[in-house]
């Protein structure tokens, strides 16, 4: 499963828009100034074009399981290169805060606000998005959603095949990803269709964790 970070758009369409914007910004004025080699920039453009073409095929009436898998692989490659660009070129000088904003990224916070341990308890509500995808909404059971200690949410989950043992203890959930969004996307592998995913959430503030929320379950489409 792809692990979503707080800066990468959650839907494939929005990821294409974000990548296209990055390419436009770098073409316009900044690639050379930022020290980005031409081969790396060209590779990002090729990965964008491939992802765009395969999404069109996967969204059409002639889509097949093979096309769906090719589309998933193309987006993994494109977003992987985007993460590479962010880590190797965008988070080091000479980018300014204005540069980061032009790329749709959050400028560096040089004055963090001290916060305590989160105490809120939350649960997820799932909804269908597409094949092998579930949308999730964060619902507060207790606590104040505006509390500064609620920096984000650790989504714990485990995929269980039909007939497998249900998960009743959140400590038995084996996979996780972090998000700052109250609405996000879980993107599963093709072979997970028809399996059951068990999900529970903890509010996080760095190494400080809030209480477990209740386990919910959903069948992966």
Q: pLDDT of 31-83, one tens digit each? A: 777 888 889 999 999 999 999 999 999 988 888 999 999 999 999 999 999 99
Q: Are 107 and 121 in contact (CB under 8 A)?
A: no
pLDDT digits (tens, 9 = 90+) for 77-91: 999 999 999 888 888
Mean pLDDT for all residues in the chain: 89
Domain hosting 30: range is 12-102
Q: What is the CATH number of the domain that holds 132?
A: 2.60.40.10
How many secondary structure helices (H) and strands (E) does the chain include? 4, 8
pLDDT digits (tens, 9 = 90+) for 137-194: 999 999 999 898 898 999 999 999 999 999 999 999 999 999 999 999 999 998 999 9
Claim to verify: residue 18 and residue 90 sit in the same structural domain: yes
Residue 155 lies in a domain: yes
pLDDT of residue 107: 80
Which residues, at least 6 apart from 122, have a Cβ–Cβ distance to it below 8 Å? Answer: 138, 139, 140, 141, 143, 153, 201, 203, 210, 213
Claim to verify: residue 22 and residue 82 sit in the same structural domain: yes
**Which residues are bridge partners to 187 per DSSP?**
133
Number of structural domains (the chain) is 2
Residue 113 lies in a domain: no
Residue 96 lies in a domain: yes
Q: Is the pLDDT of residue 5 over 70?
A: no
Q: Can you give the pTM of this predicted structure?
A: 0.51
Residue 214 lies in a domain: yes
pLDDT of residue 89: 87
Residue 107 lies in a domain: no
User: Token pair of 107, please?
Assistant: 């400028």
Residue 5 lies in a domain: no
What percentage of the chain's residues is helix, strand, coil (to nearest 5)? 35, 25, 40
Between 174 and 92, the higher pLDDT residue: 174
pLDDT of residue 13: 93
Claim to verify: residue 204 and residue 129 sit in the same structural domain: yes
Residue 3 lies in a domain: no
Claim to verify: residue 146 and residue 88 sit in the same structural domain: no
Percent of the chain with pLDDT over 90: 66
Claim to verify: residue 215 and residue 127 sit in the same structural domain: yes
DSSP 150: -
pLDDT of residue 1: 39
pLDDT of residue 109: 61
Q: Per-residue pLDDT averaged across 101-107, rounded? A: 86
Q: Is the pLDDT of residue 218 over 90?
A: yes
pLDDT of residue 160: 97
């Amino acid at each position: 499963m792809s692990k979503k970070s707080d800066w990468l758009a959650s839907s494939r369409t929005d990821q294409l828009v974000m990548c296209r914007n990055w390419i436009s910004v770098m073409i316009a004025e900044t690639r050379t100034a930022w020290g980005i080699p031409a081969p790396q920039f060209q590779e990002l453009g090729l990965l964008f074009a491939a992802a765009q073409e395969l999404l069109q095929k996967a969204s059409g009436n002639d889509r097949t399981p093979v096309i769906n898998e090719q589309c998933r692989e193309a987006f993994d490659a494109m977003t992987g290169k985007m993460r590479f660009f962010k880590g190797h070129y965008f988070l080091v000088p000479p980018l300014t805060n204005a540069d980061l904003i032009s790329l749709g990224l959050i400028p560096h916070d040089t004055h963090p606000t001290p916060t305590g341990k989160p105490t809120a308890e939350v649960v997820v509500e799932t909804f269908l998005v597409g094949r092998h995808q579930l949308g999730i909404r964060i619902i507060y059971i207790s606590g104040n959603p505006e509390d500064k200690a609620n920096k984000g949410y650790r989504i714990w989950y485990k995929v269980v095949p039909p007939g497998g043992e249900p998960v009743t203890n959140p400590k038995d959930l084996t996979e996780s990803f972090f998000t700052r969004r109250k609405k996000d996307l879980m993107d599963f592998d093709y072979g997970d269709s028809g399996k059951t995913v068990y999900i529970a959430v903890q509010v996080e503030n760095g190494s400080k964790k809030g209480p477990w929320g209740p386990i919910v379950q959903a069948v992966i489409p």
